[in-house]
């Protein structure tokens, strides 16, 4: 039996619900945000930028969101990019184009926090330049300029969206910033071209800009319900992730509060989105990765070194929607989920892509880490690469279900072996599973019996 889970804990009808990635990204946050958005007034992004890639499939139509909240698909929602995000305006317009072509009416429903930082082409150039400079130690960033944009924010010479309403000062700040970065990194920037572009953007964007912090709190006070759609994931969090192989924002629950200006008291539930196995795109430690023994855990990211790794990659279509890179694949890493649950305190888990494991004869769960023969406690996660690369994983093996589960709509309809797999995860993590993904479509969910 699934542990008891309420609709609130599942995020179906809570006031404020955070949808958070519980691994290394691409768990299916976009799909859940879309499924839940049906009952919500506001969908807000609080961190990251267009490094995210959130895919939503509705009636076989695929939508790819990067910077925009997935809530836009539902016409009743208002969507906002919160102060914790970094916004590359040309990409914003590019992302809106296909939505416009599909007849999706977004005008008036997309707001930008005046405190969000602008991410310029220059930040992207610096990202590429820094990655090149790292040589074989490159992070494998999305090259969308995320790290450099948060760096200028922390360095206090970043430029916020609200400055577009004061274009004269904006222009001076932009010239100074581009000149500064040019001297620091030697990247070439067409300063005049940028100033001209932003003059036009400022006119178009002016009506979209709001005091985001006041907006979200006023909405809360007015009884509106809010989804905070997380980007990236806990193991990519700047503080909690596998540093330095991380992104540059706070991807976990605290980021929701600082990235929107919403008090932690107002967060009613956080749903942890967890893929039934593990993937990672980009470099860095991955203890349960399915690799060739000969490759010492560092196989190229586009070539999982075992048949099972390849199987998960192929059946799961594990190719990044932002960069087109193949994702590295491995068994579910329970210590990662326990660690994420400790930090984020999930009300429930959305276990996604269970259907991808349908054909496996047996399935494994990485249940504990050992370093030098010493078993770590649940919630303990090594902070150094040296320890993370030294981790030995203890596995539990279970029979596979060898059944097509794509038509299952309740937990009870799943084959007993699949139920056992889900139950064991709940037990080890200490958190109930509310939704189980059995396909990419909006309706492809097996749901728990809610109490």
The site for ligand GDP (CB under 6 A) is made up of 21, 25-31, 53-55, 57, 321, 352-353, 355-356, 437-440, 444
**287 is a contact residue toward Mg ion (CB under 5 A):** no
Q: Cβ neighbours of residue 392 under 8 Å, at least 6 residues apart?
A: 369, 370, 371
Active-site entry in 26, 114, 333, 444: 26
Q: Which residues of 277-299 are buried (b: 16+ CB within 10 A; e: fewer)?
A: bbbbbbbbbbbbbbbeeeeeeeb
Q: Considering beta carbons, is residue 28 or 347 the nearer one to ligand GDP?
A: 28
CA distances from 161 to 72, 87, 274, 278 (A): 21, 8, 33, 36
The count of other CB atoms within 10 Å of the CB of residue 23 is: 24
Tokens of 186: 């030697």
Q: Considering beta carbons, is residue 260 or 368 the nearer one to ligand IMO?
A: 260
CA–CA distance, 50 with 276 (Å, rounded to integer)? 25
Peptide bond into 285 cis (omega under 30): no
Taking the complex as a whole, the smallest distance from the CB of residue 277 to ligand GDP amounts, in Å, to 11
H or E element that contains 34: helix 29-37
**22 is a contact residue toward Mg ion (CB under 5 A):** no
272, 378 contact by CB (below 8 A): no
Q: Considering beta carbons, is residue 67 or 205 the nearer one to ligand IMO?
A: 67
Taking the complex as a whole, the smallest distance from the CB of residue 107 to ligand GDP amounts, in Å, to 25
Find which of ligand GDP, ligand IMO, Mg ion, none residue 141 binds, CB within 5 to 8 Å per kind: ligand IMO
Strands across the sheet with 269-275, in order? 209-210, 110-113, 78-81, 42-45, 226-229, 16-21, 269-275, 348-352, 433-437, 445-447
Tokens of 316: 């799961």
Find which of Mg ion, ligand GDP, ligand IMO, none residue 51 binds, CB within 5 to 8 Å per kind: ligand IMO
**27 is a contact residue toward Mg ion (CB under 5 A):** no
Find which of Mg ion, ligand IMO, ligand GDP, none residue 57 binds, CB within 5 to 8 Å per kind: ligand GDP
Q: Considering beta carbons, is residue 181 or 232 the nearer one to ligand IMO?
A: 232
Find which of Mg ion, ligand GDP, ligand IMO, none residue 142 binds, CB within 5 to 8 Å per kind: ligand IMO
Q: Considering beta carbons, is residue 78 or 232 the nearer one to Mg ion?
A: 232
Active-site entry in 34, 54, 66, 444: 54
What 3-state class would DSSP assign to 134? helix
Q: Quick one: DSSP state of residue 24?
A: S
Find which of ligand GDP, Mg ion, ligand IMO, none residue 14 binds, CB within 5 to 8 Å per kind: none
Q: Considering beta carbons, is residue 28 or 304 the nearer one to ligand GDP?
A: 28
Taking the complex as a whole, the smallest distance from the CB of residue 309 to ligand IMO amounts, in Å, to 17
Whether 54 sits among the annotated catalytic residues: the reply is yes
Find which of ligand GDP, ligand IMO, Mg ion, none residue 160 binds, CB within 5 to 8 Å per kind: none
CA–CA distance, 238 with 249 (Å, rounded to integer)? 6
136, 280 contact by CB (below 8 A): no
Find which of ligand IMO, Mg ion, ligand GDP, none residue 31 binds, CB within 5 to 8 Å per kind: ligand GDP
**In this chain, which residue has its C-beta nearest to ligand IMO?**
282
Q: Considering beta carbons, is residue 238 or 405 the nearer one to ligand IMO?
A: 238
The count of other CB atoms within 10 Å of the CB of residue 135 is: 7
**26 is a contact residue toward Mg ion (CB under 5 A):** yes
Taking the complex as a whole, the smallest distance from the CB of residue 54 to ligand IMO amounts, in Å, to 6
CA–CA distance, 119 with 89 (Å, rounded to integer)? 8
Q: What angle do CA 138, 144, 146 make, to 5 degrees?
A: 80
Taking the complex as a whole, the smallest distance from the CB of residue 1 to ligand GDP amounts, in Å, to 22
CA–CA distance, 393 with 369 (Å, rounded to integer)? 5
Q: Cβ neighbours of residue 367 under 8 Å, at least 6 residues apart?
A: 334, 335, 394, 395, 396, 428
Q: Using alpha carbons, select from 22, 18, 373 the residue that is nearest to residue 227.
A: 18
Find which of ligand GDP, ligand IMO, Mg ion, none residue 353 binds, CB within 5 to 8 Å per kind: ligand GDP
Taking the complex as a whole, the smallest distance from the CB of residue 394 to ligand IMO amounts, in Å, to 26
Q: Considering beta carbons, is residue 11 or 382 the nearer one to ligand GDP?
A: 11
Binding site for ligand IMO (CB under 6 A): 21, 25-26, 51-54, 139-142, 144, 146-147, 231-233, 236, 245, 247-248, 281-282
Tokens of 84: 């914790």
- 445-447/433-437 β-pairing: antiparallel
The region of 34-42, 53-61, 68-76, 191-199 touching Mg ion under the rule CB under 5 A is 53-61
Taking the complex as a whole, the smallest distance from the CB of residue 64 to ligand GDP amounts, in Å, to 8
Taking the complex as a whole, the smallest distance from the CB of residue 55 to ligand IMO amounts, in Å, to 9
Binding residues (CB under 5 A) for Mg ion: these are 26, 53
Q: Which residues are catalytic?
A: 26, 54
């Amino acid at each position: 039996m699934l542990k008891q889970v309420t609709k609130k804990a599942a995020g179906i009808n809570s006031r404020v619900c955070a949808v958070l990635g519980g691994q290394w990204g691409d768990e299916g946050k976009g799909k859940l945000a879309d499924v839940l958005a049906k009952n919500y007034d506001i969908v807000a992004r609080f961190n990251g930028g267009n490094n995210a890639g959130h895919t939503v499939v509705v009636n076989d139509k695929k939508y790819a969101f990067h910077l925009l909240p997935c809530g836009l698909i539902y016409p009743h929602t208002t969507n906002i990019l919160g102060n914790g995000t970094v916004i590359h305006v040309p990409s914003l317009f590019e992302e809106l184009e296909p939505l416009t072509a599909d007849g999706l009416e977004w005008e008036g429903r997309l707001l930008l926090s005046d405190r969000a930082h602008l991410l310029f082409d220059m930040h992207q150039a610096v990202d590429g330049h820094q990655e090149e400079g790292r040589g074989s130690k490159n992070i494998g960033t999305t090259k969308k300029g995320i790290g450099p944009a948060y760096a200028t924010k922390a360095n206090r010479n970043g430029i916020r969206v609200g400055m577009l309403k004061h274009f004269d000062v904006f222009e001076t700040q932009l010239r100074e910033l581009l000149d500064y970065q040019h001297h620091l990194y030697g990247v070439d920037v067409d300063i005049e071209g940028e100033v001209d572009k932003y003059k036009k953007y400022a006119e178009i964007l002016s009506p979209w800009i709001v005091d985001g912090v006041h907006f979200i709190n006023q909405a809360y006070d007015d009884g509106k319900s809010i989804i905070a759609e997380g980007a990236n994931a806990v193991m990519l969090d700047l503080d909690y992730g596998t540093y330095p192989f991380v992104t540059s924002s706070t991807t976990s629950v605290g980021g929701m509060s600082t990235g929107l200006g919403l008090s932690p008291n107002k967060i009613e539930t956080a749903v942890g989105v967890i893929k039934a196995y593990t993937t990672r795109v980009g470099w860095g430690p991955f203890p349960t990765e399915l690799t060739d023994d000969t490759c010492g855990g560092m196989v190229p990211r586009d070539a999982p070194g075992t048949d099972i790794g390849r199987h998960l990659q192929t059946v799961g279509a594990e190719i990044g929607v932002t960069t087109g890179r193949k994702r590295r694949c491995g068994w579910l890493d329970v210590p990662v989920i326990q660690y994420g649950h400790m930090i984020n305190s999930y009300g429930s888990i959305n276990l996604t892509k269970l259907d991808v494991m349908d054909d496996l004869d047996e399935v494994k769960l990485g249940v504990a880490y050992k370093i030098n023969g010493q078993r770590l406690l649940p919630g303990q996660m090594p902070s150094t690469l040296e320890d993370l690369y030294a981790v030995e994983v203890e596995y539990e093996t279970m029979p596979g279900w060898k059944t097509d589960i794509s038509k299952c709509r309740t937990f009870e309809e799943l084959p007993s072996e699949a139920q056992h797999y889900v139950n064991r995860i709940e037990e080890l993590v200490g958190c109930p599973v509310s939704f189980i993904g059995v396909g990419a479509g909006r309706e492809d969910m097996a749901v728990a019996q809610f109490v």
